[in-house]
Amino acid sequence: MREIILAPSLLSANFAHLGRDSDRMEKAGAKILHFDVMDGAFVPNISFGIPVLKSLNKYTDMPMDVHLMIEEPHRYIDQFADAGADYITIHIEAESDIEGTLKKIAERGCIPAISVKPGTPAEDAFKYLPLVKMVLVMSVEPGFGGQSFMPIALDKITAFRKEADRLGLDIDIEVDGGIGIETGKQVIDAGANILVAGSALFNADDPAAVINELKNYGKSK
Ligand code: DX5
Ligand code: ZN
Residue 179 beta carbon below 6 angstroms from any ligand 1 atom: yes
pTM, full prediction: 0.98
Quote the ligand 2 centre to 1 CA distance (angstroms).
24
The CA-CA-CA angle for residues 62, 4, 179, to 5°, reads 90
Q: For 101-145, what is each residue's pLDDT tens digit?
A: 999 999 999 999 999 999 999 999 999 999 999 999 999 999 999
Average confidence (pLDDT) over 152-172 = 98
Average pLDDT, rounded, for the chain: 98
Contact 131, 112 (CB under 8 A): yes
What DSSP assignment string belongs to 79-139? Answer: HHHHTT-SEEEEETTT-S-HHHHHHHHHHTTPEEEEEE-TTS-GGGGGGGGGG-SEEEEES
pLDDT of residue 1: 77
pLDDT band, residue 213 (cuts 50/70/90): very high
* Ligand 1: nearest atom to the Cα of 43: 6
Length of the chain: 221
If one counts the domains in the chain, the total is 1
Quote the ligand 2 centre to 40 CA distance (angstroms).
15
Top mutation candidate among 14, 33, 36 for ligand 1, by most atoms within 8 Å of CB? 36
Domain membership of residue 117 as a residue range: 5-219
155 assigned to active site: no
Q: For 23-81, what is each residue's pLDDT tens digit?
A: 999 999 999 999 999 999 999 999 999 999 999 999 999 999 999 999 999 999 999 99
Query: Is the pLDDT confidence value at 159 over 80?
Result: yes
Quote the ligand 2 centre to 192 CA distance (angstroms).
15
CATH of the domain at 42: 3.20.20.70
pLDDT of residue 221: 86
Contact 169, 113 (CB under 8 A): no
172 assigned to active site: no
